[in-house]
Structure 1
């Protein structure tokens, strides 16, 4: 998982290393300059010798190669990120989403990225993907058939009872998404979640964001922003 920031100060470390997460309060607007005076400083005076000019050309070429892969993410978040959220953009694995700004990243088994509330373990978001030969979620079948099968046979454990509250379908920039609101209940506890699925880049992506059922009414709208923000990026 390689996560791309829209900060040029990030260039030197990401060329050889993958990041686990990114915290950015606001990605630049589509018409804003990616180059910031805090990140790259270029002298207005002519270089005194060819060595200086060569160094600058090398730096700019490296930055140009990186920023070309960031334009799509920049356009995706052309509008300001909602207050109290941050953007996670993984341009290498081809997806992005918002998450609450006070959440922290953590390892969730078999998932590519995950963030959770600092105090409530069950209040979290996580994303994973699997290879597929499908081109679009419509290839899986109609939403009314696909979603119930997923919730009851994939998301729910044998000891849990699954209840579906709502299903939605949307299309953004030529990519289709299914989102479902569902509850899983066992003898010990219940959780309620949103799941958004999509297919692209030869991958089947799943984002799930949820909370303890007792807190759901208080945090539902907050977590719906996360579910609705999920996007598949071309890679």
Structure 2
């Protein structure tokens, strides 16, 4: 995903549409560089792995700047617009073949190793991020049965050795012939817990992962809002 400044400028000048598109009649505000928050030592030691992974930087500033101007070129008939629920915005990546909704008051930020990410403007750990890796598989079913794939993924890849993983729910959905696994899980350490939804899918020669979550203390208040985000993820043909 990383590219030189000259490559980004060449890409933007060669295409009428930007890599990221906001739904028509929407406003996307791009955040500036965000610093790691000050925390007490006990909290920092518990969440250090999270902040190391998140590595806040401004994401693709040149491409985003040009993209923000180019959103006015999106035709009014762009099919995604009427589907966006109230109080959400649509993030559409035509180059990498995916889309999803995020709360309209969230702001974009850089999450290290991820292709796109948005966070609550006040609560950094309340966020959504999407990543993908190449794969030779063609469908999520190629990984195996959902009740085997998800527990293995959460317990052995999402959870750190010091964390206890709990899976609350697993669901499968099919949209336009494309299959998705969405699941709710919690990772708990002695003094910190985080709960999240994740959606995984395979298409376009890529294994996509969307994770949207919050601090466990806020989960009951925001769960339904974040479930909309998890269920909105769709692969686009590229």
1:169 maps onto 2:172 in alignment: yes
5+ residue gaps, structure 2: 2-10, 27-72
Moved >3 Å (runs of 4+): 13-27
Residue 218 of structure 2 is matched in structure 1 by 215
Q: 1:178: Cα distance to partner?
A: 0.1
**Partner deviation per Cα, 1:118-173 (whole Å, 9 max, x = no partner):** 00011000000000000000000000000000100111111110000000001000
Unaligned runs of 5+ in 1: 2-12, 28-65
1:26–1:184 CA distance, 2 compared to 1 (3 A): farther
- 1:1-235 counterparts in 2 under 5 A? 14-16=12-14, 21-24=20-23, 74-75=78-79, 77=80, 79-235=82-238
RMSD, aligned CA:
2.7
Residues 23 and 81, structure 2, Cα contact 8 Å, conserved in 1 = no
Q: CA deviation at 1:23?
A: 3.9
CA deviation string 1:71-94 (max 9, x = no partner)? 9x934x263311110000001000
Deviation at 1:15, TM superposition (A): 3.7
TM-score, reference length from structure 2: 0.71
Shift of residue 187 of structure 1?
A: 1.6
Q: Radius of gyration: which is bigger?
A: 1
Secondary structure, counterpart of 2:222 in structure 1: helix
Note if contact 1:96-1:230 (Cα within 8 Å) is conserved in structure 2.
yes
Contact 1:26 1:86 in 2 (8 A): no
Task: Report if the CA contact (8 A) 1:21-1:88 is conserved.
Answer: yes
User: CA separation of 1:78/1:84 partners in 2, compared to 1, >3 Å: closer, same or farther?
Assistant: closer
Write the distance in 1 (CA, Å) between the matches of 2:211 and 2:184.
10
